[in-house]
Every structure is written in C-alpha cells, then in structure tokens.
Amino acid sequence: MQQLRLTRTRRVALIGLAGALAVSLSACAESKREEGAGGGTGGTMIFGAAGNPKLFDPAFNDEGETFRITRQIFDTLIQNKPGTADLEPSLAEKWESSNEGKTWTFTLKSGVKFSDGTAMDATAVCANFDRWYNMKGAAAQSQMIYYGDVFEGFAKNEGDAGGDPVYKSCEAKDPTTAVLNLNKAKGAFPAAFTLPSFSIQSPTAIKQYNGDTVTQSGDSFTYSEYANKHPVGTGPFKFESWDQAKGEITLVRNDSSPSPAKLDKLIFKVIPDENARKQALKAGDINGYDYPNPADYGLLRNDGEQVLIRPSFNVLYLGINQSGPNAAKLKDPRVRQALAYGINREQFVKSKLAEGSEVATEFVPKVISGYTDDVTKYPYDQQKAKDLLKAAGAEGMTLKFYYPTEVSRPYMPNPADTFTAISEDLKKIGINIEAHAEPWNGGYKDDVQKFGKQDLHLLGWTGDYNDAGNFVGTFFGREKKEFGFNNAELFSALAAADASPAGDAHAKAYQEVNKKIMDFLPAVPIAYPTPAIVVGPKVKGLVASPLTDERFNTVTVS
Amino acid sequence: MLRFLVRRLLQAIPTLLILSILVFAWLRSLPGGPAAALLGDKATPEKIADLNHVLGLDQPIILQYFGFLGRAFTGDFGNSLVSTQPVMGEITTFLPATIELGFTAMIIAIIVGIPAGYLSARYRGGPVDNGVILLSLIGVAVPVFFLGYMMQDLLASPLGLPSQGRQTTGLDATAITNFAILDGIMTSEWDAVWDAIRHLILPAFALATIPLAVITRITRASVLEVLNEDFIRTANSKGLTQQVVRRRHVLRNGLLPVVTTIGLQTGALLGGAVLTERVFNFRGLGFLLAEGIERRDYPRLQALLLFGAVVYVLVNMLVDISYGIIDPRVRVR
C-alpha cells in the first residue's frame, strides 16, 4: 500500500518537474564520472562519512567519524584482529602483565618510524603515556573521555573531574621494551590498549605543533595546529588535507608504515544524509559508506554493491527503573521477570531488525570475552508473564514507557518501531502503557539518565573494546538514576571483576557477574543488532569489523 | 531617500538585539545543552555537569548572554562543536555556496515565474491558466526535501547529473573566492565551471520551486487586477498598441507586488536552503545549519541564526528601497 502511494506521488512530482527541467537539461546528459582512480597500484578510495571529524588527535576524541580517519593514520600498541574483537599485535609484538596486572611489558616492533621520520620506540611510547597522564588544563582533560574512563584520573585533576589515577609510570627499558606501571590492576587491559584514543603519536610532531594546547573560547574549544593539520603516526596513511568547504579529508599512503596501504589515496567525503550517501554510491561518486539503512540492503545488492554485515558488538535493552513512578511494583523481581517473559523478542528481531541480528540473552554480545550461555533465560511465554504479574499483584498496572525520537542508533535503527512492538507485547500481558516520546538530544537522555522519570525506556550500547566491563560495568556498576536500584552485591562483584587481571579468571569473573545480572534482571536485554557497511563492486579487501574498526590498508579499488 | 535609509537602519538595531536575546535564550532553554553535545552519546550526567562547569554554563544566563554579546561584537562567535573550527570562518567559507545556489534558484523562479504568471492572467480561465495554477499549487505543496529526494532518485541518473555535492570529488579546481563558477572563470578552468553548473542544476530547481510557484501566483493576481483598472481601459481607448499597453502599463504596475514578493522569497530561500543543501549535500550555510541543529552545535547555531536575521533585515531594506524606486509615492510618505 505504501509502495503504491509512493509511486503515485513520485509520478505527480515527476510530471511537475519534467516540464520545467526537460528544456534546460536536455543537453546535460553525460556519462558518469570515472574520477578517483589513482595512478598507483591500489587506486583511490572515496568513502562517504556520515559526519565531520572533530579533530585528528585521537587523545581528545571519543567519536566514531573521527576515529574512522585516525585509525588509518595511527597505530595502537595492540589491535583487533580484522573482522573480530580478538586481540593481535600491532606496534607491540608481544605484551605481558605481571605483578597481578599492575605491570605491563610491551615488546615493540623494531625499526618502526613515524611518518615524520622520527623513531617509534619505547621512549616515544612512554612519551605518549606521560603526555596523557600529565595533560594540563580543565579544557584538555574534559575532552579526554576515554583516558578519563580507563585511567580514572590525571597527575593533577583539573576542573571538577577527580579520581585516583591508575597510571603510575612508564619506563623505556631499551628501544623495544616499554614497561607500564599501574597503581592498581584494571580489567579493561589489555583490550583497552586497542582504543583509538590510545594511538601512539609522534612526540616530535606534537611538540612542534603545540599538540597539548586546548583552549576555551566561549562555550567551545580551540584545538592545536597539530590536531587540525599535522597529525603524525605510523598508520598505513598520512594526513594530507582537510578541505572544509568540500567536506573532504584526504590521506595518502604512508610508505614507512609497518602496515602500508595498497591504496595510493584515501578520501573521506562527509555526506551526513543517508539517502545522499546512497545516491553518491549509486552514481559512482564514492566507493562506500557506513550505516546503510537495513531497508536498502536488498536494493543495494541488486545494484551490485557489497553489503558487509558486521558481527554484533552492541546490545539493545529495555530499561527498568526501580525508583521511578512505579518503584514499588518494579522492585518486585516477579514483575521484572514478567516483563522479560512477556516480550516476543524472536518475533521482534525477525521482523524489525537487519539480517544477522539475534535475540539478546544477556547484556554483553557473544563475541565479548565474559559472555556465557549459562544464564537464566526468559523465553517468550505470555501465560507465565500473566501468572507472575498476578502473583505479584501487579495486574493492570500502568507504566510510563519512554522512547527516543529523531535518532537512529546502530543498536536501534528505528526507536518508534521498537517501542510499538514491545509495548504491544506488554499490553497483551495486561500492562497499560503510557507512551512518552522525546527527541534524543531534546530531553530524552536527560529525563531517562539524569532524572529517572520513567518506568521503562529503550536504550543500548555499542562497545568500545573487547571487555565485558565496558558493557555491564557501564550499565550496572553503581547506583544510577536510569535503573534506580542499589544492589551492593552486584556492584562489588562488578568491581571485583574489573580489578581482576586479564585472562581466563577475568572472563570467568564476568561470566559469574552476567549470571547474577540475569537473575536479578535490572533490565531486559532485547537484541544484538548488526550494523552493516557497504562498498561498491570495485572495492576489494575490506573486512567489516564488529568494532567499526575497518582499516583500509588491505583495500584496493580496481 | 537618505533619511528613509537611516531610519530603516536605526530600526534594525533593536530588532537584531531582541533577536539575539531570543536566539540565545531559546538555545539555552533546549534540553541537552552544549556539554552533552560535545561529549557525545556516551556522556554520563556527571561528566556533563563537569563540563558545564568548565564551560561556565552553570553561570547565570544573563552573564552568559553578555559574555556572548561581548565576544560577538569582536566577531568571535566561538568554535563549532562539530568541526572545532571558528564559526566566523565557517560562515565565510560556506556562504558563497548558498549565494550561488540561492541566486540561481531565484533567477529560475523569476524568469519562469513572471512570464508564467503573466500568461496565466492574460489567458485567464483557459488551459494555460489552469495548467499554471495546478503546477504552482504543486510547487507550494510539495515539501522541498521530498522533491529533492524524488529528483535524486528519478532524474539524476537518467539526465546524467550529479545528485550531490558542489564539485566532483577529487576534481582539483582552484578555490579563490569559493564561488565555484566564478573561480572557474577567473582561472579559465572550464571543466570546473561546467562541473559546478551541473552540480547546481538539481538543487537549484528544487530550491526554486516554492518561490517560483509564489511568484507565478502573485504575478497572475497582480496582472489580473491591473488589467481591470480604468487606466488600462483608457490606454486601450487611446489607441495604443497592445504591446505598448502591456509593457508600459500592465507590466510596470503589475510588477510592484511581485518585487516585494521576490524580496520576501529571497529571505525565505534561506529556510529552503537548509533542506535543499542537506538533501543534495550542497555545502552552504543551510548545510551548516542543518548539521548544527542535528548535532546541537550551539556556537554555530547562534551565529547562523543571527546572521540569517541580519540578512533578512537587509533584504527587507533592499525591498523597501526598490519599492521606492519603482513607486515614488513610497519615498514621499
């Protein structure tokens, strides 16, 4: 029906336009361009980015569109194996922890140089760790989101940000051995060393172009020349230019990189509108883009494009607030269980999410270490849900269900659809739903996370690195307005898991925590959706990454 | 005339001041806030509170406003939260694209709209008239973004026209003024000129639809009114040729309200440009504004909304002046 309406409207629009356009455009037909093919072996890749990069110093950044670019310019000590969330060597050939996780020794690749010709050795690595730890100024520190999260504090905490720093010191034992000393063990390591924010940058270039200078101007920040024009790393590409007027960031091959690119040139073209990105790919203006609309997968494939499905690295959940308007009822575990049994998640995933998406059985995706199949599950069972509600005396209760508008997240491509499907299920078990729709940036996050006005809400999370703590620790590690519960046992189990050194014991600790969480059921995990990335038929060698960590060094464009 | 101009200029100052207060208060009253926008999706309420303190956003709004006004007087509108570049620099970089697009759209609207309206009035009730009325109704009714998508989907490929951007990616054209066509002419890079023109066609037509429809309808109504005036009958009865009557009497008098409309539509084009530039990835001020709204880029929004207000006030002044030129009675009053 909708298809028919659209077709009619299109026809009307076309008739209206055709007359005016026909005359002036008859001479304009011209074949599609073939620009972009470079002279070298791998050609030029033009990738449609969904947003502007912020700046090119990843230490001051936490945002995907910037990381997409800096990942090509810089290397981290450890990286994710292409296409997975597993770890593999990058600048560090080996790493090991000792002293119960408080000392990390990195054996670096020898003979690596930054693209400015200076040496990437243990001294340079330590200079990076020291730089982050000693960063001065509230403006600069406030922008180091990931450093603040993982290392918990600075040499001198400025602004209101406090914390006890995890970092103690870094020693360059010899050119290829860097030893990192921590004040306490941190479960996030070694996975967190893969974070783009911890990219190893050229200390010389940082100094030359005042990389540490972040100043405040009114209610915004000004970054250094280094961050805007001269980022220097060891990655497969070198920064060449950022043309604001055209919205183009141009990188060229870095021949001195330990993982040199096949492409001669890599251009990121900023096209915020998803439909415009699709059109640009169809027209051959770009060779690929991110976040295609799941509804377009079939059409794109029919056109010969390659839709690469990423393994899921995110989770969508139905939040339950135990201190909200219906606190008394939602504190009763039977009511929360009823909500879980009452939602037909299989059906939802099948009908509303992109191919490859799966029903979530806990709050960490399957590829994360710490995931376990051995948790209490809540398969769809309407009758059981009704019985539980009856036993808890909560039949016919009315819940305030908040959901966001004006947003599409990788874990929630269409919030309104998600809300409708879930609320219909809940109505079927006798719960009355009071819908509250709010714009994502226009009050939703405040009302849900800051004020806790809701009984139920929709949210999710895309992981940053392969550690269960990045998921469950973020959600349930402490008392939060979003969930409104205080479960000391759970909080301490999470803290203990976070502090346990990496390895099997660490994974095991999180498996135990995940069991506890699914018994306590502070929220209902709904799905592990799978975002995709799309590239044209001429592109070879791109490996889709669960962490959106696509590196273009293996890519060629014929 | 000079007094008239000075009076209009003085009137503009309080208007702009009030507008600056409204814009500032409106943006500050929105939930979320710059700190949340800066910190992105993963910001916790605690981190947002910290950053609000660092940025001084926890100070009384009056103090914040005067700080903003003080900096604005020195041309400092802060840095964009999205691109981290100075907003004033962004405006000067992106303005030429909007002027290029708006100017082309307006030219299309005028050269098609006035004759269409005139013909429609002249052949009132006939098939031409009905056709023009229908098309102008569609022009007003169809949302610009929808029209844009339709053009991209249905016309770009068959006509071999680019559906987005201002220039082919990788085309190494010299940028002097940032007016793509002008730069191409100045440097004799004719490929670049042709490339820029091809990129302009679809967005300019999309943006032109509403002003085109409005100008057509106003011209039609105005010409119809003039045709019924006594002086036209007098002119006809004096034995003047139809051509002279139409050019000297009908058009000249009929165009007065059209000029006002063109002025107002020029202001309205800024609004249309937001959607058109966004859909066609045509990187002008509308594109900047759309991105600013989406990403809650307060410094950019403050500057752009004020800039828009200044342009609107200026365009209105120009309309009044041109009105004065066409109809001397306006100046006397």
CB contact under 8 A, A285 and B165: yes
Chain A CB within 8 Å of residue B71 CB: yes
- Asked if A219 lies within 8 A of B45 by C-beta distance, the reply is no
- Whether A13 shows a pLDDT value over 80: the answer reads no
Rounded distance between C-alpha atoms, residue B283 and residue A363, angstroms: 41
What is the SS3 assignment for B19? Answer: helix
Q: Which H/E stretch holds residue A394? A: none
Q: Which of B100, B86, B104, B77 is nearest to B310 (CA)?
A: B77
CB-based contact, A35 to chain B, within 8 Å? yes
Task: Identify the burial level of A490 via C-beta atoms within 10 angstroms of its C-beta, where 0-12 means exposed, 13-18 middle and 19 or more buried.
Answer: buried
User: By the CB < 8 Å criterion, does A7 face chain B?
Assistant: no
Residues B207 and B276: beta-carbon distance below 8 Å: yes
The answer to whether residue A530 scores a pLDDT higher than 80 is: yes
A160 in B contact zone (CB under 8 Å)? yes
Which of A17, A316, A461 should be substituted to probe chain B, the one whose Cβ sees the most B Cβ atoms within 10 Å?
Answer: A17
Stretch (H or E) spanning A491: helix A488-499
| Neighboring chain B residues of A449 at a CB cutoff of 8 Å | 44-45
Contact A280 B93 (CB under 8 A): no
What are the pLDDT digits (tens) for B292-314?
Answer: 888 788 889 999 998 888 888 88
Give yes or no for A521 touching B (CB within 8 A): no
3-class SS of residue A57: coil
A168's enclosing H/E stretch is strand A167-174
Count of beta carbons in the 10 Å neighbourhood of residue A39: 8
**Of B25, B278, B281, B27, nearest to A441 (Cα)?**
B27
Cα–Cα distance for residue pair A249/A47, rounded to 1 Å: 10
3-state secondary structure of A419: helix
**Whose structure tokens read 């055709």?**
A18
Q: How far apart are CA A278 and CA B90, in angstroms?
A: 26
- The answer to whether B138 touches B188, Cβ cutoff 8 Å, is no
Identify all chain A residues contacting B290, using CB atoms and an 8 Å cutoff. 272
Identify whether the C-beta of residue A248 lies closer than 8 Å to the C-beta of residue B175: no
Tokens 């096209």 belong to A271
pLDDT digits (tens, 9 = 90+) for A198-215: 999 999 999 999 999 998
Of all residues in chain A, the one with the smallest CA distance to B63 is: A218
Mark yes or no for CB contact B36/A441 under 8 Å: yes
Closest CA to B130 of B139, B120, B122, B140: B120
- Counting one residue from A and one from B, how many pairs have CB atoms under 8 Å apart? 218
C-alpha span between A419 and A413 (Å, rounded): 12
Q: 3-state DSSP call for residue A118?
A: coil
Contact B164, B152 (CB under 8 A): yes
Structure confidence at residue A9 (pLDDT): 44
Name every chain A residue with its beta carbon within 8 A of the beta carbon of B91. none
Res A72 pLDDT > 80: yes
CB A335 within 8 A of CB A472: no
Query: Band of the pLDDT at A160, cuts 50, 70, 90?
Result: low
- Given a contact cutoff of 8 angstroms between Cβ atoms, the answer to whether A84 and A367 are in contact is yes
Q: Which residue of A has its CA nearest to B27?
A: A442
Average pLDDT over residues A65-78: 96
Q: Is A39 part of the contact surface with chain B (CB cutoff 8 Å)? A: no
Q: How does DSSP classify residue B156?
A: I
Measuring CA to CA, which residue among A449, A69, A216 is closest to residue B34?
A216
DSSP tag of B280: T
Q: How many angstroms separate the CA of residue A172 from the nearest CA in chain B?
A: 34
* Residue A310 region by backbone torsions, left for phi larger than 0, else alpha for psi between -120 and 50, else beta: beta
Q: Which of B51, B83, B84 to mutate to test the interface with A (most CBs of A within 10 A)?
A: B84
User: Which of B79, B158, B283 is nearest residue A246 as measured by Cβ atoms?
Assistant: B283
Quote the ipTM score: 0.83
Contact B79 A20 (CB under 8 A): no
Give residue A225's pLDDT band: very low, low, confident or very high (50, 70, 90): very high
Tell whether B100 lies on the interface with A, counting CB pairs under 8 A: no
Confidence of residue A321 (pLDDT cuts 50, 70, 90): very high
List, in order, residues 6 or more apart from A218 with CB less than 8 Å away: B67, B68, B71, B76, B77, B78, B299
Q: Are strands A306-309 and A532-535 parallel, antiparallel or unpaired?
A: antiparallel
Rounded-to-integer distance, Cα B112 and Cα A44, Å:
42
Integer angstrom CA distances of residue A400 from A33, A386, A419, A460: 53, 19, 12, 18
Over residues A509-515, the mean pLDDT reads 96
Segment A16-34 shows an average pLDDT of 37
CA angle A328, A332, A333 (to 5 degrees): 150
Amino acid, single-letter form, for residue A518: M
Give SS3 for A248. Answer: strand
| φ/ψ (deg, to 5) at A147 | -60, -45
Partner B contacted by A217 (CB < 8 A): yes
Q: Is residue A34 within 8 angstroms of chain B, CB to CB?
A: no
Nearest chain A Cα to B202, which residue?
A21
CA distance A6 to A3: 5
A62 to chain B: which residues are within 8 Å by CB?
Answer: 39-40, 42
On chain A, the residues whose CB falls within 8 A of the CB of B171 are 35
pLDDT in tens, B223-263: 998 888 888 888 888 887 877 887 778 877 888 888 888 88
Burial class (CB in 10 A: 0-12, 13-18, 19+), A12: middle
Contact at 8 Å (CB) between A422 and A293?
Answer: no
What pLDDT, on the 0 to 100 scale, is given for residue A110?
Answer: 96
For residue A464, give the 3-state DSSP assignment: coil
Burial zone of B138 (CB within 10 Å; 0-12 exposed, 13-18 middle, 19+ buried): middle
Rounded to whole angstroms, the Cα distance separating B36 from B59 reads: 17
Q: Compute the nearest-CA separation of A442 from chain B (Å).
A: 5
Residues in chain B within 8 Å Cβ distance of A52: 82-83, 291
DSSP annotation of A409: B
Cβ contacts of B61 within 8 Å, gap of 6 or more: B25, B28
Q: Is B82 on the interface with A (CB under 8 A)?
A: yes
Mutate which of A219, A224, A243 to test chain B, going by most B C-beta atoms within 10 A? A219
Instruction: Give the span between the Cα atoms of B8 and B41, in whole angstroms.
Output: 46
Amino acid occupying residue B145: F
Residue B330: pLDDT band by 50, 70, 90 thresholds? low
* B contacts of A481 (beta carbons < 8 Å): 45
Q: Which residue has the higher pLDDT, A544 or B58?
A: A544
Q: What is the torsion angle, in degrees rounded to the nearest 10, for the CA atoms of residue A45, residue A50, residue A54 and residue A58?
A: -60
Q: Is A522 helix (H, G, I), strand (E, B) or coil?
A: coil
Give contacts of A228 with chain B, Cβ < 8 Å: 84-85
Please check whether residue B156 is in contact with residue A17, taking contact to mean a CB–CB distance below 8 angstroms: no
pLDDT at B80 exceeding the cut of 70: yes
Tokens 């995890």 belong to residue: A166
Among A32, A218, A446, the residue with its CB nearest the CB of B31 is: A446
**B211: contact with A, CB 8 A cutoff:** no
For residue A10, the model assigns a pLDDT of: 47
Please give the residue that has the higher pLDDT: either B169 or A11: B169
B140 closest CA partner among B257, B20, B265: B265
What is the residue whose two structure tokens read 């996780």?
A101
Residues within 8 A of B (CB atoms), A 388-417 only? 409
Concatenate the DSSP letters of all residues of B191-204 into one string: HHHHHHHHHHHHHH
Which pLDDT score, from 0 to 100, does residue A161 have? 61
pLDDT digit string, tens, across residues B149-190: 899 888 988 898 988 889 888 777 888 888 999 999 999 999
Tell if the CB–CB gap between A52 and B32 is shorter than 8 Å: no
With a pLDDT cut of 70, the percent of chain B lying above it is 97
Picking from A458, A480, A440, A219, the residue whose alpha carbon sits closest to that of residue B31 is A440
- Residues 111..130 of B with a Cβ closer than 8 Å to A: which? 112
A90-115 burial by CB neighbour count: b if 16+ within 10 A, else e? bbbeebebeeebbbbbbbbbeebbbb
A218 has a chain B CB within 8 A of its CB: yes
B25-55 pLDDT, tens digit per residue, is: 888 887 777 787 777 777 778 788 888 888 8
From chain A residues 249-308, the ones with a CB under 8 A of any chain B CB are 267, 269, 271-273, 275-276, 279-280, 282-283, 285-286
Cis peptide bond upstream of A190, omega within 30: yes
In this complex, which of A13, A35, A51 lies closest to B142 when CB atoms are compared? A13
C-beta atoms of B150 and A31 within 8 A:
no
Q: Is A51 on the interface with B (CB under 8 A)?
A: yes
Q: Which residue of B has its CA nearest to A220?
A: B79
For chain A, give the percent of residues with pLDDT over 70.
Answer: 92
Q: Does A174 touch chain B (CB under 8 A)?
A: no
- B-contacting residues of A 83-122, CB under 8 Å? none
Instruction: Determine, for residues B169 and A35 on separate chains, whether the beta-carbon distance falls below 8 Å.
Output: yes
Measured CA to CA, the distance from residue A290 to residue A409 in angstroms comes to 12
CA distance A29 to A497: 64
- If you average pLDDT over every residue of chain A, what do you get? 89
Short-list B147, B134, B155, B153, CA closest to A21: B155
A280 contacts in chain B (CB < 8 Å): 163-165, 281
Asked if residue A316 has pLDDT above 80, the reply is: yes
B276 closest CA partner among B104, B84, B79, B110: B104
Which residues lie closer than 8 Å to B26 by C-beta, 6 or more apart?
none
